[in-house]
Structure 1
Amino acid sequence: AMTIDRNTLMLATASLFALSSNFACAEDKGLTTRLGEAEISVTLDAALAGFALRNAQFGAGSAGQNGIRQGGRDWIEGFAKPGVEISAPLGNGQAYGLLSAIGTITRGDGDAQATSGTSMRPSHLAPEDYAIGWRSGGSFAALGEDAIDISLGNQAFSIGDGFLILDGTAEGSRRAAYVLGPRAAFADTAILRINTAPLRADLFHLAGNVDQRRMLAGDAPATRLYGANLEWFGSGNGNKGRNAYEDRAWYLGLTALHVYDADSSGALSFANGNNGSAGGANRDGLNVFSIRSGGAVLAPLDEALEPLGEALSDFGFYAEYAVQRNDSTNRKVRAHAWYVEPQYTVSSLPWTPKLAYRYAYFSGDANTNDATDKSWDSLYSGGGPRGFGRWDQGEIYARYVGGNSNLASHMLHLSLQPAEAWQIGAIYYRHDFDKAPAGVSSSRLMDEIDLYAQWDTPLKGLGITLLTAAGKPGSGQKQQLTSNAAGNGEAVDRTIWLGQIVLSYSF
């Protein structure tokens, strides 16, 4: 039954539009003022979303915290993230500080996972970013403006398109806003960015933001790691690619990281001979290496092949290959993952159609009782900066069915831009198990279709996204649901239907 508090919905909507009206006159993101030599910038990100899902878990139903199963769930989520950045001259560079907080809320039935994490209608307010840093400005003129950027504290950090590192804070449960997922900051960061061109690098220390009590023991394992990232790139927006992923026209990258401490207690342990493949228990001592590419990787050949210049620039190619190794006693790991995604934009046609195909593979483990874990640990992957078709693979699969482990996935994505403020698209996913789970004879997991439309409204900073999706179980997924308690004697061959609307605001 629909249980959304209408007063809450009306108040949240009114607040969002009021904020939009107050700050729509700002020319750039944020409001900036000066206090002596210091510059102060204030920002706000907010969103309100409504969701309706039917045939949860393909008919098995989604259980609330009270244990009662529901086949249909309706809920709303919202968040607001006010933030401030203060910068002031220090030497030939600039010292800066970041401070932000996020308030979240879920109302209605809660999300539609097998066990809903937000059926108790949670709300939560907590700090997000609190960090200090220094940018070099013109201190190293030969290396470029702000060639060195060093920062400490709690803050967001990402590598490439988020295949390995993007989201440092798990959402849902008592943190609320499971689908919107606004929190991303890592804890205890120490990050050195070397923003030179055409080579740049990152040296980093990160810790996941973990609170097992608040997350009802469903949070990621506490993890601390350090690593390095090196990129060769070409800028697509002046020289800004040195500082921002979205301004890199193309890139090639190498990443290495080492987990030097992780929680392997309780449910995360290797007790009873289980190799821990259920999620992160193998992290202590884990080493990860990857190589990747992205963007218009043929663009550097434009001059050499001048007649094909535009065609080469319209071709994009994203790919990554990564391995995970751990030789620690009782925590041996041999896992790997990779993907290839060619895409082509027909820039000469109306609506600028872009077609992309991706095959992504994340290893699974056929024997969870031996001494070596072969299942891929998705670490801190997340939605990613490339919009729909990112590392949350499918609005149904990624949210309510499974994750990026023991998975072989095909994606076909067509996007169109009928006007500057509009983007529409369709995505088809076919997901298969890499290794069929125990008691399952088929590798067919599910098929999903997502249809979406995004509108940047005339009200500056306000965007609206509409999405409808359908997910059909494969024979392997039906067998898995039938053979475990989630089946509950119900039919498990129904198509999941999802509709959602998201209003987002940013200044």
Structure 2
Amino acid sequence: MSNSFVRHARSHATSVCRGSRGFVKASCSLVALGLAAFAAPEEVRAEQTLVSIKGITLQGALDIGGSAFFLPNTNFGAGSYGTKSSGALVRHKNSTYGEFYGKPMLMGSWQTGWGFTVIGKASAIGATTLGDGDAEEVSQTSGTPRSIYLEEANLGVEVPLKMAGGHQILTVQGGRQAFAVDDGFLIGKGTYSAGDRGAWWYAPRYAFSGPGVIKLEGDSVRGDVFMLESNSDNDIDRGYDRPKTKFVGFDVSWFKNKPGGHGGSTYADRAAYVTLTYFHVRDADGSSHYDYSTRADRNGMNVAALSWGGTLFPVKALGISKNFTFYGNFVSEQNSHAGNGYKSVEAYGMFFEPGYTFSMLPWKPHLFYRYTRFGGGKNAEGSVKRNYDTFFLYDGKRYTYGGYWPGEIVGMYLAPLSDLEVRQFDLTGTPPVHLFRKKDELKLGVHFYDLSLLYPSGMGLKNVGRHVSNEVDFTAEYMLDETTSAAVAAGTAFSGPAGRALSRAGVPTGYRMHNIGRHAGVLEAYFYKHF
């Protein structure tokens, strides 16, 4: 399954099903039903054609997904606070919650016969969060939110071209649409799934609002010119949303295709690539709600990035021309305009990720190390903002587990994605076993994260060491076919001085401080199905 279907899509079935709470049992029953469906006849169902006549095609599809979580000793004992109907907060020491979503889609095309094709897409997402709500210290999705909102609604044209001896497709597309540069480290998500939207962890929403995007996809070069805006709404998201941001920019990529691949339109088909990205924020919410925050002073900002990945350095002498990969991204954020308490912005973010696949060994284990640095400053309320803003970060298309969120416990619920340094080791392997079909796949993984603040004082912490936590997660991902997948995961985290200080700092004012310990855990599961 392409990871573009699932931002977090992950799960835990077996261990959670041993729980005693009725909600967990109900969630597991649904997961079990999904797993039982894997034994169905081997047939991969894609989009269903509803109309096909005289060059006009209309197709329908449906995505569904669900997840379940149990987090013992949540946030190292600080717990997670949910809002009751009265407005008071209630503490959950061991958070338990689940999520479900459905996304019906309608896609259409018209081959005009005049050298171009008209295309369009419309979709909506219905979602809910059950149980205690997500496990942040103040939960963003407590109270069982349910919602149905428009996701995509766009119209465009595709024009085939032949330039410089190659083949290209020019696409002009306007309206609400999903849009990502590479695997989404900088631009990938236009809608946040907090508050009354629900499904915070699964995060099935991606769409930006228009005007739109112009794409040119060639044999070895591709590019986009875009003018978009995020779908932010603090009324729906209970004040937890990112600043509403309108931006304009471009990206251009050079790439090499994998055998039989089409890297111009499909990121996963690129054997190697280098991308230059730039955008200018032409308008952003600068209300006092964002003063001195990591999202502050976006209006007028200039953002530039250089990213790369794949087998960029085929070292044939060492016999690793196909097995060695190197991914990375360097982002610069600059703003000379004052806003939200700052006079200017100078911030940077980056990651570097060498990896190697031992293709000659059983299970073909893949090992990578990733160093990620989300910039920060010593004084969060100085005149220059140095805390990195992740903007439209998406967890990545290359991995379901092991993406840019640093772990399933601390990086997911506690640590800020700014003023943060992450050292990550990932080892995955695919055993030669097939559970239900000859071509299904099981991938096992171990994921280690070492998190530290760059400057504890930049997070308002005084006389505290930098280390936030160490965490190790164990995962089992199962893919029945390109349309059906599920996973189970379990992990434990060990707090450092900065991690315990962040836990204390996150307790709501006026509520009793509980004992902050050295351990926290997670058991989780997810399923995904595309019809």
Q: Indicate whether the TM-score tops 0.5.
A: yes
Opposite residue 201 of structure 1, the aligned amino acid is G
Partner of 1:96: 119
**1:200–1:232 CA contact under 8 A, matched in 2:** yes
Change (3 A) 1:121 1:79: same
Partner of 2:394: 382
**1:354–1:416 CA contact under 8 A, matched in 2:** yes
Change (3 A) 1:206 1:26: farther
Opposite residue 396 of structure 1, the aligned amino acid is I
Partner of 1:136: 159
Count of paired positions: 490
Structure 1 residue 3 displacement after superposition: 6.1
Partner of 1:47: 65
Task: Kindly report structure 1 stretches of 4+ aligned residues shifted beyond 2 Å.
Answer: 1-14, 16-22, 24-29, 139-146, 479-489
Confirm whether residue 80 of structure 1 aligns to residue 92 of structure 2. Answer: no
Find the residue that maps to 1:398 and give its secondary structure: helix
Structure 1 residue 187 displacement after superposition: 1.2
**2:31–2:526 CA contact under 8 A, matched in 1:** no
Structure 1 residue 36 displacement after superposition: 2.8
Change (3 A) 1:10 1:478: closer
Partner of 2:424: 411
Change (3 A) 1:238 1:7: closer
**2:44–2:483 CA contact under 8 A, matched in 1:** no
What does the per-residue CA deviation read over 1:55-85, in whole Å, with 9 as the maximum and x for residues that have no partner? Answer: 1111011111131111111121111111121
Which of residues 168, 185, 208 is equivalent to 1:163?
185
Change (3 A) 1:352 1:71: same
> Within 2, Cα distance between the matches of 1:12 and 1:314?
35
Structure 1 residue 368 displacement after superposition: 2.2
Which of residues 304, 312, 316 is equivalent to 1:289?
304
Change (3 A) 1:365 1:21: same
Aligned 1:102-141 pairs, distance under 5 A: 102-137=125-160, 139-140=161-162
Partner of 1:335: 347
What does the per-residue CA deviation read over 1:205-262, in whole Å, with 9 as the maximum and x for residues that have no partner? Answer: 1111111111111111110001110111001142511111111111011111110100
Opposite residue 134 of structure 1, the aligned amino acid is V
Gaps of 5+ in 2: 1-19, 433-439
Q: Aligned-residue CA RMSD in angstroms?
A: 2.4
> Within 1, Cα distance between the matches of 2:220 and 2:462?
52
Gaps of 5+ in 1: 270-275
> Within 2, Cα distance between the matches of 1:10 and 1:347?
38
Greater mean deviation of Cα atoms: 463-472 or 407-416: 463-472
User: Looking at both structures, which has the greater relative contact order when contacts are Cα pairs under 8 Å and sequence separation is at least 6?
Assistant: 2
Partner of 1:59: 77
What does the per-residue CA deviation read over 1:145-203, in whole Å, with 9 as the maximum and x for residues that have no partner? Answer: 55211101111111112110011111132111111111111112411111013221111
> Within 1, Cα distance between the matches of 2:42 and 2:402?
32
Confirm whether residue 436 of structure 1 aligns to residue 456 of structure 2. Answer: yes
Over the matched positions of the two proteins, sequence identity in percent amounts to: 27
Greater mean deviation of Cα atoms: 217-226 or 233-242: 233-242
Structure 1 residue 144 displacement after superposition: 4.9
> Within 1, Cα distance between the matches of 2:35 and 2:454?
46
Confirm whether residue 4 of structure 1 aligns to residue 23 of structure 2. Answer: yes
Partner of 2:294: 279
Which of residues 315, 318, 337 is equivalent to 2:324?
315
Which of residues 469, 476, 481 is equivalent to 1:446?
469
Opposite residue 363 of structure 1, the aligned amino acid is G
**2:473–2:491 CA contact under 8 A, matched in 1:** yes
Partner of 1:502: 526
**1:440–1:476 CA contact under 8 A, matched in 2:** no
Change (3 A) 1:216 1:492: same
**1:47–1:78 CA contact under 8 A, matched in 2:** yes
Change (3 A) 1:315 1:28: farther
Partner of 2:367: 355
Structure 1 residue 403 displacement after superposition: 3.4
Partner of 2:8: none
Change (3 A) 1:329 1:497: closer
TM-score of the two chains, using structure 1 as the length reference: 0.91
Opposite residue 57 of structure 1, the aligned amino acid is N
What does the per-residue CA deviation read over 1:362-394, in whole Å, with 9 as the maximum and x for residues that have no partner? Answer: 111211232110000000001110112111221
Change (3 A) 1:5 1:294: closer
Partner of 2:235: 213
What does the per-residue CA deviation read over 1:383-433, in whole Å, with 9 as the maximum and x for residues that have no partner? Answer: 110112111221112321123210011000001011351111000000000
Find the residue that maps to 1:211 and give its secondary structure: coil
**1:58–1:473 CA contact under 8 A, matched in 2:** yes
> Within 1, Cα distance between the matches of 2:27 and 2:498?
41
